[in-house]
Structure 1
Amino acid sequence: MIFKKNSKKKGKMDMKKWNKVIQFGLLGAALVGLAACGNEATDAEGSSAEGLEVINIAATSTPHAEILEQVKEDLKEKGFELEVTILDDYPLYNPALDAGDVDANFFQHTPYLDSYKEETGSEITPVAKIHFEPLGIYAGKTKDLADIKEGAQISIPNDATNGGRALLLLEANGLIELKEGSGITATVSDITKNEKDLEIVELAAEQVARSVQDVDFAVVNANYALEAGFDVQNDALASEAIDSEAAEIYGNVLVVRKEDVEADKVKALIEVLKTDKVRDFINDTYKGAVVPLF
């Protein structure tokens, strides 16, 4: 999931408030998304011009909508017309699904979904884990991890989600040790061993890639690495492994309403997404910035 920074509000969020957000933002955003993705008009009963049952999915443009575009023809062969709606902001996606404006969404990892469900009481449900967007360690002033010096500076994201992942990645590469059991929620205070007295510089996730030239190494989110011009596959000195705790927790999921979990259209969508064709597209297109989990 390629995330923009999103502030979290405290306390329970009233579903009416979410629906009010949709009323102001969903229509214009959906029109932009439909135009961008070449969707066909549907009738009042949810059928396409070709008489196929429509599956409307809200997805961010990169990589989610791009991945979905690869399965349109495969779904047609199964009797379904895929429409992809691109919305303007992350907080719109789950309420749009709850309100029935779309049949599914594809943009988030499970912790983000769980947070929304806790705040709203929603019962929307993940049905398939599709891909993972790994953090990587990139060279700054020092070009090789083997040459790391005493007191070297390493910048990492300062948010709870990515900061913990970054520290686990540093631990996996022998640079630090963390308190046993600290896991994905680790913070710098959980560092128990730091033989080279490394200085951990915490920055906003979007700023870390821009800091590379000022530090020895930087732990960067894949999307920001791409934006900064890195070749993720070749430039990352180390990345989160596909069998890492982060990959298990932060894999991006396809989400539907609870009552649609066993629907034929959902089963068909999962089947066409989890194919060699889609796996090859992800690997060939994103070159390590996005990793298939099937």
Structure 2
Amino acid sequence: MKKRILASLLAGILVIGLMVGCSKKAETADTDEGSSSGTETLTIAASATPHGEILEEAKKILKEDGINLEIEIFDDYVLPNEVVESEELDANYFQHAPYLDSFNEEKGTHLVDAGQIHYEPFGIYPGTKNNLDDLEDGDSIAVPNDTTNEARALLLLEDNGIITLKEGAGLTATVNDIDKNPKNIKIEELEAAQIPRVKEEVAFVVLNGNYALEAGFSVSKDAIAYEESDSEAAKTYVNIIAVKEGNEDEAKIKKLVEVLKSDDIKSFIETKYDGAVVPFE
């Protein structure tokens, strides 16, 4: 009798176990089905301003298209590339192509440009004078002293007829490449962050967008001249979406670039940044 009861109990436990197992499989299947039909996640590294702010705006649009954009903010220029190279994150948005190329060469990474989004134009701003026609012999103009930004500043001065650079100087130009300087303008080379502090001591200052804002300039209203979207510098230093080579054709990456170049995001950039950040056409 006891053996029969024990056998019945064991059979009952076996049936219950099978039922629970089937139930869990069904739940797993339902979960898998929900995942495949739910949103897709896209992870991206970015600098806080303006890149992170622009991405937060794009996130709202991407959500409507079934893409959950996860933004991770970095305050350096190395880790954002390393986490994309390792594919810990899908993409990054903080740099221009020359920096990316230099990073790849130095670090042996395999990152590529997946889309060109915006540029931050250099502008000539008032110092003690408000019009370039008022430049006099021996006046001073302050420019950034780092290689990339000094070249951009000198090219902008050349575009506005203040100096002429040696042929081929281009984006590596320094003051040593000035070929003609009819008004003997003194080029004051300073760290970019220091330039706003000398605006009352020089005729003009040449600044990029973020430093112009910090100096109290309205880029759209105060810039006497600035890099045009079709200028050599703007085309070269446009900020990009970077991904690991081979991932640039993924649907979610293409959608991200599409949204970042949409009219909605262009409008956001133009309204928020007052010309310090410009959508790249």
Bin for the TM-score computed over the shorter chain:
0.7 to 0.9
> For each residue in 1:67-90, what CA deviation from the matched residue of structure 2 results, as whole angstroms up to 9, or x when unmatched?
111222321222210111101322
Match of 2:113 in 1: 126
Match of 2:277 in 1: 290
How many Å separate the matches in 1 of 2:126 and 2:60? 42
Q: Which amino acid aligns with 1:167?
A: L
The answer to whether the aligner puts 1:74 opposite 2:61 as a matched pair is yes
The answer to whether the aligner puts 1:245 opposite 2:232 as a matched pair is yes
The answer to whether the Cα contact below 8 Å between 2:123 and 2:227 also exists between their aligned partners in 1 is yes
- The percent of aligned pairs where both chains have the same amino acid is 52
- Structure 1 residues 15-30: aligned runs within 5 Å: none
How many Å separate the matches in 2 of 1:230 and 1:101? 39
* Greater helix fraction, Structure 1 or Structure 2: 2
The answer to whether the aligner puts 1:64 opposite 2:54 as a matched pair is no
CA RMSD of aligned residues (A): 1.6
The answer to whether the aligner puts 1:151 opposite 2:134 as a matched pair is no
Match of 1:35 in 2: none
Match of 1:264 in 2: 251
Q: Which amino acid aligns with 2:245?
A: K
> For each residue in 1:24-44, what CA deviation from the matched residue of structure 2 results, as whole angstroms up to 9, or x when unmatched?
xxxxxxxxxxxxxxxxxxxxx
Q: Which amino acid aligns with 1:80?
A: I
- Structure 1 residues 30-109: aligned runs within 5 Å: 51-109=38-96
How many Å separate the matches in 1 of 2:60 and 2:180? 53
Structure 2 runs not aligned, ≥5 long: 1-31
The answer to whether the aligner puts 1:219 opposite 2:206 as a matched pair is yes
TM-score (norm 1): 0.81
The answer to whether the aligner puts 1:160 opposite 2:147 as a matched pair is yes
Structure 1 runs not aligned, ≥5 long: 1-44
Q: Which of the pair has more CA radius of gyration?
A: 2
TM-score (norm 2): 0.85
Tell me by how many angstroms 1:141 deviates. Answer: 1.3
Q: Which amino acid aligns with 1:184?
A: L
Tell me by how many angstroms 1:258 deviates. Answer: 1.2
Match of 1:36 in 2: none
Q: Indicate how the Cα distance of structure 1 residues 73 and 142 shifts in structure 2: closer, same or farther if over 3 A, else same.
A: closer
How many Å separate the matches in 1 of 2:198 and 2:157? 17
Q: Which amino acid aligns with 1:83?
A: E
